[in-house]
Structure formats: structure tokens, C-alpha cells
Chain A
Amino acid sequence: MGNHQLTSLIRMANQIAANNTHIGDDIAEAEMVADHMTKFWARSMKAQIREYLEQDGSELTPIAKQAVSLLKH
């Protein structure tokens, strides 16, 4: 097992967050990012990014971090 997917997922999460910063309300922005991931990410991708947040999460931007924490198990 490598970490190709995780590297991509972190990048994707941060990119989604960066493109949804216009609302001016951190919670609403994080919800939007989480909603996007819920709708478009595969089960394994969501599980992997959640696991990453639980163990480390340092490379996620604040909004991305909050969004991942909102993802349902």
C-alpha cells in the first residue's frame, strides 16, 4: 500500500475548500465542501481522508479539515 491516493485526496480536499471560500462563514463553507465530497467521492476515498484526519490531518487547510470532520461514517 502506497499513499498515492491519500496525496491526491488531500490535494483535492484543499482545492475544493479553496474554491468555496466566498460564503464568509467557516461552518457553511465546510458544510459545502463536505457536501461535495459526500456527493462525488467514493466510499473508500471518504474513509481514507477521515482516517487521515484522525491520525494526522496536518496538510489539510482549516476549512478542509472541518469538512472532513463533518463526513458521516
Chain B
Amino acid sequence: MIQIFDPNVDYNKDYGTPASVSENLITLEIDGKSITVPEGTSVLRAAAEADINIPKLCATDNLEAFGSCRICAVEIEGRRGTPASCTTPAEAGMKVTTQNKRLGKLRRNIMELYISDHPLDCLTCPANGNCELQDVAGEVGLREVRYGFSGENHLDAEKDNSNPYFSFDPSKCIVCSRCVRACGEVQGTFALTIDGRGFDSKVSPGQNEAFLDSECVSCGACVQACPTSTLMEKSVIEVGQPEHSVVTTCAYCGVGCQFKAEMKGAEIIRMVPYKGGQANHGHSCVKGRFAFGYATHEDRITKPMIRDSIDEPWQEVSWDEALNFAATKLRGIQEKYGRESIGGITSSRCTNEETYLVQKLIRAAFGNNNTDTCARVCHSPTGYGLKATLGESAGTQTFDSVMYADTIMVIGANPTDAHPVFGSLLKKRLRQGAKLIVADPRRIDLVKTPHVETHHHLTLRPGSNVAFVNAMAHVIMSEGLEDRDFIAKRCQTEAFNAWRHFITEERHSPENTEAITGIPAAELRSAARIYANAKNAAIYYGLGVTEHSQGSSMVMGIANLALATGNIGREGVGVNPLRGQNNVQGSCDMGSFPHELPGYQHVSDDAVRARFEAVWGVELDNEPGLRIPNMFDAAMDGTYKGMYCQGEDIAQSDPNTNHVHAAMRALECLVVQDIFLNETAKFAHVFLPGSSFLEKDGTFTNAERRINRVRKVMPPLAGKQDWEVTQALSNALGYPMNYSHPSEIMDEIALLTPTFSNVSYERLEEMGSLQWPCNDNTPDGTPIMHLDSFPIGKGHFAITEYVATEERSTRKYPLLLTTGRTLSQYNVGAQTRRTENQVWHDDDVLELHPQDAEDRGIKDNDWVGITSRSGETVMLAKVSDRMQPGVVYTTFHHPHSGANVVTTDNSDWATNCPEYKVTAIQVIKVNEPSEWQQRYHEFHQEQIGHLHSARGEKRSGSVAGE
């Protein structure tokens, strides 16, 4: 059931059962009050909507009704007994009584039984002040427990403290099954069960394991669902219940979950997923809910620092001194080497307003277009490919739309690890019977998960994506499975005819491409038929599509599939890029790319530039600037000398580390603005302390184009929000900026960006969030794009010739390495490595197939050397049958593991997005770290020494780089 944002719903109230979306309304009478609700609404919820609050324990509105506690019993005229109101649907004309002597007695009797086996330590209990059991005891007027407390009970049940974030105290459990149901219904992991029967019934993670040893993914849905203190955040146990809360948006992945940051003063106690969050509807993952401790970690740098050379210790200085130092250096470089000799990188982790300001500073104060962002290394092909085919650089759907999909194809994405909250929604739809096709070299968790059957797992070879997508299209067109009406009405005829001619050539058939893709032809044909014949088929894709030498071609190939089958422009279909970082969509929208002003408006368009020039008061360059890899090359050549880098760790995240580090060393002035002394900052001359998402106001835009508010919950540790730092730097450079609040920056964005013209903080408060395009044509935003037409009029079929990557396995480098993420760590790990999430993944490991391991005499936990033509590193091995023979996998969350020392500077032909997903390597058993790792260790120690000198400290603190 899809819950749609309704401004009339109080998202802080528990209505007991989920809302019904039926359009048929019925009227009933509860306690003499006439109430109208959608058909299918429970009596419990109908009453709650009229503020008649029936006591309840096992019911909560993000779970289907269960009817086990019987506390919510009511009387219904003409019916026998006292039915549970949670499991009884409201019916027209029904007359319900929720309170009378009989019901009061019944409820007290039930509570008596519960409390006879419950510790009476309410005053010292962590849930005190927020305990549903205590509340219900009060509501029903429990005054005595006639059974006494000396009978058989569970009061001595042992606590499980294995999870770093929450404790499990079974002595307080009332076996309401809310945790078990949340784990299944909401999260879809099914790690919990009720073990035993009758009095012996108890909640069991896995098969009577500790939480940490079970399949539990620590999403926290069970903790949120628990009505007692059985499952409780350790932070609450330690410091007590929070006293106020602020709704804000998570700064991890591109799902954009909203949370209530629950606070005690300026201290954050816990993050509780907000039911009104339109992307997450009250669910979360281990990162968003629990891994926020980094924000107040001792490694946070809170004072500006400068130095003339990276071989010198840092000097802590005032904001003014640091900003003037940076401005003087950058201007000096421009005087010496020219206007184009400096540039900057905007952050996909910062807010839209902050990103907008950084690119504005570069274009207006630096006077060039040398601006780029980390989307360069993740989804730049999405921007290029979708704009070329569908006319807009963004995904077409809402996340909720997946609930209408009949066939779901996941290509090169791992939603349960990288976009976990969407992964849970997807699994929910699959449990309802939608078909699943996975195209991935690895067996991702989605392929084999409780109650989900994958129809086809197409284990394609890394680098063969375009051959695969062409084969899919070939089957569709040659077997006549296309949607001719859609093509005729919605697509450009000439381009379609050219594409049809191309794609029906026999060389694209599954039989002819099998040798390239490794996918058996019959299986691919079957998958193509399932996709094409579905009423609604949706494609979800990730970096396994974009991070290739043909990333852009593959994105266009995916759009071709959707166009050919008419799977665009309604619920349950579409082309859905799963964006990596919290605001990578926003950073692209905000003009971070060197060729585009905000709103994807090309810098060469005189009319566009004139509008920006009028508002910004400067002349703008009409030529594109340098992209990140071009900046590195130019730095090596001595023509690019200064850079302002906000909130991105290019020294760790970008490919071919040796090349990147050499380029960083060649800079005369690197200004880094970040919350930690990250890998990039070790090469910096100016460090401007940034603020975490908890310390600022602004907006993030998620993967469904949803603009969500970020709200400040604590003061910035260093005294300035990031937009204030950029503004101060701009003023120091002599280009005045005078915003007093991010809402003013958003007003300027709305003025200059046609797809944002109706966006304002006021509208965001009113609507909860807005999905762009949001302008006069669509004043409430656009949940589903391309309903009747495309921004380019008609859909454009792009010809996608398969061109093999130059990176191939050879005798010297026989294996193909592909890189990705894990659930518990995030990107370069700067945040998650500074949290207890380290428990799950404290090092990057190399996963390889048992056959490849055996051929090399490698066992689990052996040290292995990984060599490519770019470099060499050493990691621990993990033998895993998730891999196919010949393909190995690792993550890049830990800097010392050096995953990117091995990756190459190959990139997408259209956007230079690096080919992270294909690196030819050799793996051998070794005994010691690589030479690079030894050098890294020395450099790290030296730079940490420079930091401690600035603070006048001896070597101490963690600086979680090592």
C-alpha cells in the first residue's frame, strides 16, 4: 500500500494501522460521532483519525494489523463479542463503541496479565517517558495485579548487547511481534522470529543467535516498532529520553530519507525515521539511523588552518586570516598563470544552496567555468544519456512508483546495500509477486532473499553492458514485442527508423553476443520477453551502468528499451538511476558541471548567460571549463595551479591514485573545505572547516528529483555553515555575496532555473517536499516525468554501437576487478569509519571465486597483492561464490586499502566518468603491504604530525585514516 503525503495527516501520531488509498469513502459512527474514511480503513484508524484514541499495543501504523494483544477491542452494534478494532475494517453504517465498563474491564484484565510478567522498574527504565506499555496501563486504569509477581516469569532473561547501537532486553518483552513484523514487512530481512509456543514464546534473532551474529542488518525498524524498552537505543539508555526534535534529511545515499533528529539541547540522542518523509515513509538503514556519531567525532577540525607547503606543519589561524590567505594565493596564481589556471569542485554532500554558491564563486569570482563535482565519477553518463534520449538529466519516477511495477529490471545496482530503504520497498513489491531480472556480474543479495525469486540473474561480463542492452532491444524488435502506438505517438520517427535498422541487424542477437556478454542466449531472450510483455516494467540502475568506457551509451541503451516498450510516462515504469550521494542529483542540477549553468543550461547559450550575468553582475565565460580528470592532467602539465575543493575526497575516491596524488602535489594552492582532514586535505595549503548536515539549513535533492529540507539541529562546530564559508571566500576574492539565509539563495536559484521557478522554502514547508520540474506548469512539482511529452518534444532513440573497452584481461592481468559498496560503510568512509559501523566492515577485502582462489593457492584472510597496469595494492582475500570465475570485487571505503591505486584512468567516451567497474588485474599471495601502502603510511603519519603541531599536541587522537 502506498502512503501518499497528506498535509492533513499528523505524522507524529500513530494511527494504529496503515492508511487505505481507496477512493471509495464510507461513513460510520464511532462513539456517536460520524466519521468518513476510505474503504478498507480499520476501525482503529478511523477512530484515530477522528481523535478517538483506542488503547493499543500490537498495532502501529507502519505495519499491517495483527490482532494479537486484544487491547484495542471494541463493541459494534449488532455484532457479538468484542472484536479487535485493528483487524476489523470500517463498514458503512457501522456503530462502534470504544469505551464502556465492559471494555474497560476487559482491557484491565489483559494489562494485568502483561504486567504480571514485566519488571516494575518504570522509574529507572530507559523507556520511561516514552513507553507505550506504561501509557496503556495508565489509559486502562490498571491499579492492581491480582496474580502477584512470584509466578513463573521471564524477568531473568539475559540481555543481548551485541549490536553496537541498541540493546535487546527480553525481560521487558510483551511478545507483541511488532519487531518481528517490522523486520519482515518493512525491512524485508526476516531476521527475527517468535521462537517457542505459549509461555515459552520469545523473540529470536536468526536461530537463537545474538543480534550481531544473525542476518540482522541493523536498520533499526524493530527498535522503532518496540512499544517497551525491550529494543532500545544505547544512546537513550545512557543519557535518557530526548526533549525536542527537528525534522531533517539524511546526508548518506541518494534515497533522501527524512528523520526526526531527537535532541537534548544541542546534543543529538537518536535519529528516528520520519513517517512524513516522502521518500522513506518512516523507514531507515543502519547508516542514516545510527551512524551519525561522526558529526561530533574528535577528529572534526574546527579551526581554519594554513601553510605554505604541504611539507610544513599546519598553523591554526582566524577565519579572516585563512580566507585572505586563500584569496591572495588564488589571485596570485591567476595573475601569474592566467584566469583559467584555477578552478573548484562542488560537493555532492553539501546542500543545493552551498553547491550553487561554489559554482557561482568559480564562474563569477574566478571568472572561468572550471567547476566540476563528484557526479563526474558516478552519474555523469546519466545526465548525458537521459538528456540525449528523454530530454532531461534525471530519473523519471518516484520511489513509490515501484509498487505499481510488474517487472523490475535491476542493472548494475545493489539497492539492498547502497540504497537500502528503496531496497526494502523494492523487496516488498517483489513479495507481492512482481518479477525480477538482475543484470550483474555478482550475485547481489537481491538475487537470493527471503520470499523473493529472481526470474533471471544475467551474470554478464564486466565491460559488456552495451552488447547486453543491444541484445535485449534486438529481441524486442525482432520478435515484434515493441509498443508501436507509443513509438508512433511519442518518439521521433526518423531516429526510430535509423535505430530499428541498426538494432535488428543480426550481429546484435543474443546468440551472436553471447560470446561477449557471457549470458546464455535463451536466458537473455526470456528476460527480454518478460520485460517487454509486462504491463508495467521499470528499470533501476546504478554505477554498474555508468562507470564504464561506454557508460553514456549504456544509459541511452536503457532509455531505448523503455521507449521501445512504452514504459515511460506513468506509474510503475520508467528509467530510474539510483543516485549515490545524498545530493548528487542536486549538485548536477545546481550547475556544477563545467559546460552547464544551473538547470542544465549550456554556457554557450547567449540568452541564458545574459540572464545570469544580469543577476550576478559579471560577464561569464561562454566556453566550457575543465572536468576533474582534465584538471588533474592540466595540473601535471603545469597549467592548472589552484583549486577550491568543497566536501569531496578526490584523493581517495578518484581512479589511478598515483596520478591523482601527483596532480595534487603539483598544485600551488589547494583550498579544502571539509569536516575532517581527509585524504585530499593532506595535500592542501588552506583548510576551511566545514559543517555536517546537522549544523546547517538548506535542501538536498534525492534520486527522484525530490527537494527535501535540511534543518539545522545544532550550531556549526567551527562557527560557520558551509555556505557562509563560501560567501566569505567570495568576499575575500572581491566578488561580493551577501545572503543572510539559504532561503535567499534558493530564491535566486528559482529566479534563474526554469525547472525550479516555483520552489521556495515557504512552498517546501507547505508541501513537505517538491519534485522538480516545479514551475508555473507544475506548481506542485512533478512526481512522474514525461506523462504526455518529453522536454525535447518526442523521445529520441540513440544508436548505441558496442565498442569493447581497451581494458581487457590478458595473460599478465587475467582477472577483471569491479568495485562497489557495502551496506555499513559509505563511499570513502570519512563518516562511517568514524562510527560503530566499523563493527561490520573494518577493512576492504578482495572477493574472489573459489576457483580463482584455488588456482592461486589463496584462502580466506590471506594477504593478496593486486596488480594492474596502474599500480599495486594489498588486501585480505575473501573467497566467495557470489563472484563468477574471472571476476573479483572490492570496496574503496578505507584509504589504506588503496583500491583506487589499481583502477585506471580509462573513462566514458562522452563524460570521462571513470571505468571503475573494469580493471584487468592479477592476484597473488603476498606477505607484506605494497610499496604504495608503505609510502601512504609514512605520508599519513607525517601529515597527522603536521596537524598535531598546529594544535600544539603530541601525537594523539585517532584521525581515522589508518
CA distance A55 to B164 in the complex (A): 64
Return chain A residues, CB-CB under 8 Å to B633. 4-5, 7-8
Knowing A42-B370, A42-B630, A45-B630, the reply to whether A5 touches B801 (Cβ < 8 A) is no
What distance in Å separates the Cβ of B807 from its nearest Cβ neighbour in chain A? 12
Q: Chain B residue with minimal CB distance to A8?
A: B633
Across the interface, B910 reaches (CB within 8 A) one of A16, A38, A42, A43, namely A16
CA distance A45 to B625 in the complex (A): 9
Q: Chain B residue with minimal CB distance to A3?
A: B637
CA distance A18 to B909 in the complex (A): 9
Q: Are A42 and B909 in contact (CB under 8 A)?
A: no
Residue B302 CB within 8 A of the other chain: no
CA distance A3 to B636 in the complex (A): 8
Q: Chain A residue with minimal CB distance to B625?
A: A42
What distance in Å separates the Cβ of A35 from its nearest Cβ neighbour in chain B? 11
Residue B513 CB within 8 A of the other chain: no
Among B236-284, those with CB < 8 Å from A are none
Q: Chain B residue with minimal CB distance to A23?
A: B799
Return chain A residues, CB-CB under 8 Å to B594. 42
Encode contact with A along B516-551: 1 for CB under 8 Å, 0 otherwise: 000000000000000000000000000000000110
Encode contact with B along A32-48: 1 for CB under 8 Å, 0 otherwise: 00001011111111000
CA distance A18 to B636 in the complex (A): 27
Residue B708 CB within 8 A of the other chain: no
CA distance A15 to B905 in the complex (A): 13
Residue B809 CB within 8 A of the other chain: no
Encode contact with B along A1-35: 1 for CB under 8 Å, 0 otherwise: 11111011000100110110110000000000000
**Range, interface on chain B:** 20 to 34
Q: Are B801 and A21 in contact (CB under 8 A)?
A: yes
Return chain A residues, CB-CB under 8 Å to B801. 19, 21-22
Residue B900 CB within 8 A of the other chain: no
**Range, interface on chain A:** 20 to 34
What distance in Å separates the Cβ of A17 from its nearest Cβ neighbour in chain B? 9
What distance in Å separates the Cβ of B552 from its nearest Cβ neighbour in chain A? 8
Knowing A19-B801, A19-B910, A43-B340, the reply to whether A4 touches B637 (Cβ < 8 A) is yes
Residue B595 CB within 8 A of the other chain: yes
What distance in Å separates the Cβ of B595 from its nearest Cβ neighbour in chain A? 5
Knowing A3-B637, A4-B637, A15-B909, the reply to whether A41 touches B624 (Cβ < 8 A) is yes
Residue B880 CB within 8 A of the other chain: no
Return chain A residues, CB-CB under 8 Å to B604. 38-39
Q: Are B636 and A39 in contact (CB under 8 A)?
A: no
Q: Chain B residue with minimal CB distance to A16?
A: B909
Residue B634 CB within 8 A of the other chain: yes
Across the interface, B595 reaches (CB within 8 A) one of A12, A16, A18, A39, namely A39
Q: Are A43 and B623 in contact (CB under 8 A)?
A: yes
Question: Can you list 22 pairs linking A and B with CB atoms under 8 Å apart?
Answer: A1-B639, A2-B636, A4-B632, A5-B633, A7-B633, A8-B629, A8-B630, A12-B912, A16-B910, A18-B909, A19-B550, A19-B909, A39-B604, A39-B624, A40-B624, A42-B370, A42-B623, A43-B340, A44-B340, A44-B634, A44-B639, A45-B626
**Which residues does A use to contact B, with CB under 8 Å?**
1-5, 7-8, 12, 15-16, 18-19, 21-22, 36, 38-45
**Which residues does B use to contact A, with CB under 8 Å?**
340, 369-370, 502, 549-550, 553, 594-595, 602, 604, 623-627, 629-630, 632-634, 636-639, 799, 801, 803, 905, 909-912
* Closest 6 pairs (CB-CB, A-B): A5-B633, A4-B636, A43-B623, A15-B909, A19-B909, A4-B633
Query: What 20 new A-B contacts, CB under 8 Å, besides A41-B624, A42-B630, A43-B623?
Result: A1-B637, A1-B639, A4-B636, A5-B633, A5-B636, A5-B637, A15-B549, A18-B909, A19-B801, A19-B803, A19-B909, A19-B910, A21-B801, A22-B502, A39-B624, A40-B595, A40-B624, A42-B594, A42-B623, A45-B630
